[in-house]
Amino acid sequence: MIPKELIKKIRYIQIYTGKAVNDVLAGEYHSVFKGQGMEFDEVRAYQPGDDIRTIDWNVTARTGHPYVKRYVEEREITVFFLVDLSASGAFGSREKLKNEITAEFCALLAFSAIKNNDKVGLIVFTDTIELFIPPAKGTSHVLRLIRELLYFDPGRERQRAGTDIALALNYLGRVLHKRGVVFLVSDFIDQGFEKPLGVLARRHDLIAVTVSDPCESVLPDVGLLEVQDAETGKTMIIDTGSREVRSRYENLAREKNQKLSSLFKSTGVDHIELFTDRDYVLDLVKFFRKRMKR
């Protein structure tokens, strides 16, 4: 039984992202993600202005009249969402949690994909592979993906759920054989995934999507604060009133972000940054337009 609150949330996402697809992203998705090439469509009579290189000489010789071959873009592509729903995603200092932003962002792209007749698949991971949904088309399929993303609870089966990005990348490499578009959505609180990231990027169009909250970069000055690592359960007391502590915290966050940016650049992985206090639609549009200029 799906809770009524979840049904309400799914409906909201369907309406909001559907409007964004029609009003904001119309045509941009299609322009950014091309098909895998051109395929033969038909032979038709030659018309003035046609490229003579497309003339079908066999048909022309048989009929005595010039005919040309017509090609169309092999449009259908496979879009895969590789989504990190480890315990650290259940955090947010603003209106929405990181995992909620993740679900809405994936929904937006999934609806854009099916509008262009593309297939969409999903892998949910933590420190293990939690869910695999093969690529398919249609609104009902996308709604299932959204439901799984919203309903997933890393603590339902286990008390803690860590992160293993390398495991997820290797798994996708085994199940996705044809070249596709892969969105790796995570807060990237993990290490040791550099090599499999590079390997997958050579085989697929890999896009890294980092999901962050402002409090993960800037520590508020609220005095003594007890914090807990959602993935390990460890707790500690931080003196946020100390300027030195806040400065060190910000430096560590900046260093992490710089290392990620350098890694994505060196492996040829495109990068989209999402934040819990910012409109992800605008961030996606910005990414699309930047990519189209290349």
Tell me the pLDDT tens digit for each residue of 158-167.
566 789 999 9
* 232 belongs to a structural domain: no
* Any domain includes 175: yes
Q: What does the pLDDT look like over 22-62, one tens digit per residue?
A: 776 767 777 777 655 555 567 788 888 787 778 888 888 88
Same domain (yes/no): 56, 107: no
10-14, 111-115, 155-159: which has the minimum mean pLDDT?
Answer: 155-159
Mean pLDDT of the 271-276 span: 94
Same domain? For 64 and 12 the reply is no
In a domain, 247, yes or no: no
Q: Domain total for the chain?
A: 2
The verdict on 61 and 83 lying in the same domain is: no
In this predicted structure, what is the pLDDT of residue 73? 54
Q: Flag whether 162 is in a domain.
A: yes
Same domain, 127 and 156: yes
Question: Tell me, what's the pLDDT at 229?
Answer: 76
Looking at the fold, whether 65 and 82 belong to one and the same domain comes out as: no
Residue 45 and residue 18 share a domain: no
Q: Examine the domain organization and report whether 186 and 56 are in the same domain.
A: no
Least confident of 6-10, 179-183, 224-228: 6-10
The answer on pLDDT for 89 being more than 80 is yes
| Same domain (yes/no): 136, 25 | yes
Range picked from 63-67, 136-140, 282-286 for highest mean pLDDT: 136-140
**pLDDT value at position 1?**
46
Let me know whether 179 and 276 are in one domain: yes
Task: Answer whether residue 136 shows pLDDT above 60.
Answer: yes
Q: Are residues 93 and 64 located together in one domain of the fold?
A: no
Q: Does residue 225 carry a pLDDT above 70?
A: yes
CATH number at residue 126: 3.40.50.410
Q: What mean pLDDT, rounded, does the chain reach?
A: 86
pTM: 0.81
pLDDT value of position 71: 61
Q: Are residues 27 and 62 in the same domain?
A: no
Domain, as residue range, for 123: 4-31+77-211+271-293
| Judgement on whether residues 111 and 198 belong to the same structural domain of the protein | yes
Under the banding of pLDDT at 50, 70 and 90, the label for residue 81 is very high
Residue by residue, DSSP assigns the chain as ---HHHHHHHHHHHHHHHHHHHHTSTTHHHHHS--S-EEEEEEEE--TT--GGGB-HHHHHHHSS-EEEEEEE----EEEEEEE--GGGS--SSSS-HHHHHHHHHHHHHHHHHHTT-EEEEEEESSSEEEEEEEE-SHHHHHHHHHHHHH--HHHHSS-----HHHHHHHHHHH--S--EEEEEE-----S-HHHHHHHHHHSEEEEEEEE-GGGTS----SEEEEE-TTT--EEEEETT-HHHHHHHHHHHHHHHHHHHHHHHHHT-EEEEEETTS-HHHHHHHHHHHHHH-
Please tell me the least confidently modeled range out of 195-199, 248-252, 264-268, 288-292.
288-292
